[in-house]
Structure 1
Amino acid sequence: MTNVDAPQWFSDAVAIKPVESDIEVLGASIHVRSWGEEDLPGVVLVHGGAAHSGWWDHVAPFLARGHRVVALDLSGHGDSAWREDYKVEYWSAEVLAVAEASNFIHPPVLIGHSMGGWVCMDAAKGDARIAGVAVIDTPLRSPSPEQTAARDKRAFGPLKVYAALDEALVRFRTVPDQADSLPYVMDHVARGSVREVDGGWSWKFDPSMFGSARPSPELLRSVRCRAALFRAERGMVTQDVASDMYEMFGRSAPVIEIPLAGHHVMLDQPLPLVSGLLTLLADWDHSRAQVAGAQHM
């Protein structure tokens, strides 16, 4: 997974380097990356399980043309600290702390992928500091695919150490696997997923993070800000599940499908995802919010 040729749009996007910083939340150091001008409307990007903020590197610069964009590594992920135990509530507290530390001019929009969608919804429930939440292929009543794989011991076991960087990179896989993931995106994400350790290279995530963090479907009913659902055509959220989520959101959240996308949309269909997110943000920047649960004739 080395020396992968990338199209110009991708090379240009990842060449826009974010400003990096760290804040402390509930006793853990949380790593934050920021793009865009500080006086623009705010967006917070939240990755999925066992991922990291670098999964957004080729997405965030497009959003940052009209928004101040920040992405964090949740505790137990990326370059953030590990905890003794993990809960969705801890991760949502990290999201809110990052949003507050970013000094947005208005309450931001939260965008979360997979498990990160549950984190965003938990952060948004009843919180006036959040203007909206968009979730990307976030399952409704089941754990994320990463949580299921860890529970079944099919992935995310004790961390291995690889003698050489290339040896680690060729073993990078997503859960679930996606045959159509773009190789240049996979290469970039894989390189951000490892760190140098004694004896070689190893993965950045904490394998124990899947033990206690579990979502609750009731979260959907507790979200009172704007909401939107992005469904990957080949992902985890079926049309029936999306319909159920629409009902639980009080029939106020649009369901936006990304054609041909697998669960990890930013890996196989990043530009359609960018287009969908930009369209949603443009609408939310210029329209009145519909209250979840409101009845219309």
Structure 2
Amino acid sequence: MYRTWKTFQPYLLATPQALILLMFLVFPIVMIGVVSFWQFNGYSMTPAFSFDNYISIFTSQVSLATYINTFKYVVLVWEACLAIALPIAYYLTFCIERESVRVLLFLICTIPFWTSNIIRMISWIPLLGREGLVNQLLLNLNTVQTPVEWFLYSDFAIVLGMVHLYNFFMIAPVFNSMMRIDRTLITAARDMGASGFDVLKEIILPLTAPGIAIGSIFVVTLTMGEYVTVRLMGGGQSASVGKLISTQIGSLQYPLAAANAVILLLITLVLVTGILRVVDIRKEL
């Protein structure tokens, strides 16, 4: 009897977590997949098994353009976050000797997360608008003759807002990976005549790759489903798949929104799987 209890004890301990996972993650995703095959006649949904929603998505120029636009945001935000994270993580890791100062500077990077995403987005409007501080400064310096329109309600503003939101998700894992690098490797490389660029290329970047992969997963998944930033910073002039799904839900087109959600989920899973196949992140976990 005791041996039987010891055999089933791990399964019993895992049962509550498994039930919560099934109830609040797996079951909703399955229901979204089911609804994506239903039909919508403009007034009500009809349970069915139809590929009309998926065919509508893949044959619509608007939908395809929206997906391409979303991929553009993903690439631009990922590149910007990586370009910001690498020098910041390098500076904190190799240029700051005192641990207390390093921790303080790292905590400063978290300050934007002390407020909500909406407030952080709205705060850009008085800064980048036609009458904003940046335009007023440029006008006063005679750098421009008229206010710069593309600072706000443009793709530039959308990418800037997303980078502002998600850059820390890249900084943290990259910094964590760099902190794990054995300093004796760098010392040995320099003793053998390696330049600073050689150390960066042959030691630091390869050993930081798992952190870059983890940060990339965070940034890619968050950007793929973003719609609030697109709506606020784009001023209704730009589109993303997340915003498209939100609009379809608002117009009660639940089956079509569910189909877009399924496609978006599959694309995200493919991207994440590709990242995991390129870099082994198990050493970071």
Q: TM-score, normalised by structure 2?
A: 0.24
- Determine which structure has greater relative contact order: mean sequence separation of CA pairs < 8 Å that are 6+ residues apart, divided by chain length: 2
Say which one has the larger Rg.
Answer: 2
Higher helix share: 2
TM-score (norm 1): 0.24
As a proportion of its length, which structure holds more strand? 1
